[in-house]
Amino acid sequence: MSNDQTEAHPPGHHLHGPELVEAQAVRAQALETVLVDKGILTPAEVDEYIETWNRRIGPLEGAKVVARAWVDDGFRARLADDATAALAEVGVEPGRLERLEVVMNEPGVHNVVCCTLCSCYPWTVLGLPPSWYKSPEYRSRIVREPRAVLSEMGLELEAETTINVWDSSSEVRYVVIPERPAGTENLNEDELRGLVTRDSMIGVARVEAPDQP
């Protein structure tokens, strides 16, 4: 029996009117397709714009949440109890998030996030979703064979590690709190923020300790 588990959408969950942000995401994807098809932009240029936006805004907000959870056990507990409310403690606006849930990695347990029916994603704390997150291949395979997909993305997990796959929706978005890497005990909160990546908060990568001089 596999120890890989999935938190799925309720049947028909997305058939009751998506949030405005989801409609905007669909329109943005359609516009991107038109611009590329007409030769106005190349896929590489689109990726460059997205990466620039992400570096300036996106995952930096989520990194605040992760770093505080690493250094403040009280905040970590409040985050687990009501993540949407806890965002305010680190100056992160919840935006159009209806509800944010955090799932915390720990020894022997690894979490990864997807959206099997569309591309629900916590834009407020992670920025723009990467193109692979929206791809049908990732959305279908990460649920069926998460260990293989993570391995292909460069994340090798021990055989005994339980993998939980969390399926986001328009009502509930998930963010992974990755494990704090060993060797970072002397880093302050600001320094820890700089280690946190978007992919680690989706669950497809680990946070790595900085190279020692």
**Distances from the Cα of 161 to the Cαs of 73, 115, 198, in angstroms?**
24, 22, 22
Helix/strand/coil for 185 = coil
**Is-catalytic flag, 114?**
no
What are the start-end ranges of the H helices in the chain? 20-37, 43-56, 58-71, 73-81, 83-86, 123-126, 131-134, 136-144, 146-152, 189-193, 198-202
Which residue among 120, 168, 169, 200 is the active-site one? 120
**What's the angle, vertex CA 178, arms to CA 175 and CA 183, rounded to 5?**
155
- Taking Cα atoms as reference points, which of 62, 46, 184, 175 lies closest to residue 127? 62
Widest pairwise Cα distance in the chain: 55
- Residue 198's CB is within 10 A of a number of other CB atoms, namely 22
**Distances from the Cα of 19 to the Cαs of 26, 39, 60, 131, 172, in angstroms?**
11, 31, 24, 21, 11
Which residue among 2, 114, 115, 169 is the active-site one? 115
Q: Annotated catalytic sites, by residue?
A: 115, 118-120
